[in-house]
Amino acid sequence: MFALPLTDSAVLRPLELWQAEEFLAHLDRAREHIAPWVSPAFVARDLAEARRVLQAYADKRAQDSGGIWGIWSDGVLVGGVMLVSFDTTLGVCEAGCWLEPAAQGRGLITRATERIIDWAVEQRGIVRVEWRTKADNIRSIAVAQRLGMSHDGTLRQARPDATGGRLDLEIWSVLADEWRARSAAQRDGDQFPTTLRLGLSQTSIK
């Protein structure tokens, strides 16, 4: 199994069905923090639910329509990134993330998301990468901004929320030519290493 370094002590690698127990233990640490911001179906409460979440992403991977990767810090699963949707016919995908509080402030999500966007754009020909987030999710919006995304607009009262009201959903995106320009600028500035090595084939998300 590949493990792509993010920092000296953190790596990105596929999050798979056989890791359901580890995933559940991680969610137990992160649950209160991430529950307001992610789909309720994602925040598994027992092993069976954890397996269902990972199986859903395994099914997406098999259909070439999404994927999920975990971030391990000092050998402990602390969060991850995903391609919530992935459509090479349209040339559009949606990226997402989650992270437990102890791992915040180290740039892990930004670096991990850069890896999957690099792969989507450079190896799979994706033209538009979207980032959808609740309008009051300041941390998520900050990630979108660090990734060089533009705010396309806000879908007002797009979904019901847990309180019986409705929430606004912000849409951010970056286009392939914008991403390449950003990557070139970073290479010239030597800010981050070039990373196109996700251990993925040209035709499927592993």
> Would you say residue 200 lies in a domain?
no
Mean of the per-residue pLDDT values for the chain?
90
Q: Spell 33-55 as b/e; 16+ CB within 10 A means b.
A: ebeebbeeebbbeeeebbbebbe
> Would you say residue 33 lies in a domain?
yes
* Overall average pLDDT of the 116-134 stretch: 97
How many C-beta atoms surround the C-beta of residue 30 within 10 A?
A: 21
Q: State how far Cα 100 lies from the chain centre.
A: 14
> Would you say residue 39 lies in a domain?
yes
Angle at 22 between CA 119 and CA 36, to 5 degrees: 75
Q: Give the residue carrying structure tokens 């499927």.
A: 204
- What is the Cα–Cα distance from 44 to 9, expressed in whole angstroms? 27
> Would you say residue 203 lies in a domain?
no
Task: Specify the range with the lowest mean pLDDT, choosing from 37-46, 135-144, 184-193.
Answer: 184-193
Domain, as residue range, for 117: 4-189
Number of domains in the chain: 1
pLDDT score recorded for residue 161: 83
In this model, does residue 44 exceed pLDDT 50?
yes
pLDDT score recorded for residue 40: 87
Residue 9 vs residue 164, higher pLDDT: 9
Query: What are residue 172's DSSP bridge partners?
Result: 131, 151
Phi, psi torsion values for 31, nearest 5 degrees: -50, -55
pTM: 0.88
pLDDT score recorded for residue 198: 44
* Overall average pLDDT of the 31-58 stretch: 95
CATH code assigned at 41: 3.40.630.30
> Would you say residue 198 lies in a domain?
no
In this model, does residue 205 exceed pLDDT 60?
no
Which residues 6+ apart lie within 8 Å of 120 measured at CB?
Answer: 83, 86, 93, 95, 126, 129
> Would you say residue 73 lies in a domain?
yes
- 1: pLDDT confidence band, cut at 50, 70 and 90? low
In this model, does residue 53 exceed pLDDT 90?
yes
The pLDDT tens digits of the residues spanning 154-203 come to 999 998 887 888 999 999 999 999 999 999 998 887 544 433 334 443 33
> Would you say residue 199 lies in a domain?
no
Percentage of the chain beyond pLDDT 70 is: 91
> Would you say residue 110 lies in a domain?
yes
pLDDT score recorded for residue 132: 97
Contact yes or no for 88/50 (Cβ under 8 A): no
Task: Specify the range with the lowest mean pLDDT, choosing from 62-76, 123-137, 187-201.
Answer: 187-201
